[in-house]
Amino acid sequence: MFAAFFVAASAAIILVLGLIHLTYTFYGPKLHPRDSALKAQLMVVSLNISRETTMWRTWIGFNASHSFGCIFFGLVYGYLALLQSTLLMRSWVLLAVGLALLVGYFMIGRRYWFSVPFRGIALALALYSTGLALNLR
């Protein structure tokens, strides 16, 4: 049971990061380029794959869908860890999928993100890994 609390803490961090990211996606300038001319250009330039959208619209869409993935992970793994811990801790498939997602975010974060979300992901991965290690005992 103690292992599940580490997984729940990990899920809570990812959930909070996802909620903050979703808020920043739709409210305020935090995810906007500092150069307003660049933003104006992104709002009119289409992608090679389709003229139906712009780089700006895809930027917003990618950020929103990324946020939804984090929120989903946080809610599902938080729920499983707190209310269905036996199911979660006995399912190596669920545990492996959660670990793979966090390792993926860690690797992407290390290469492409700035320090705050990367540190949050690193902490979430450390907590999750601790929960897995305790679960093995």
Per-residue model confidence (pLDDT) at position 76:
98
Tell me the residue ranges of DSSP E strands in 78-118: none
pLDDT tens digits, residue range 45-63? Answer: 999 999 999 999 999 999 9
Contact 19, 57 (CB under 8 A): no
Structure tokens at 131: 């929960």
Sequence-separated (6 or more) residues with CB below 8 Å from residue 114:
none
- The predicted model scores a pTM of 0.94
For 2-18, the pLDDT digits (tens) are 999 999 999 999 999 99
Q: 43 in helix, strand or coil?
A: coil
Q: E strands along the chain, which residues?
A: none
Low-confidence ranges of the chain (pLDDT < 70): none
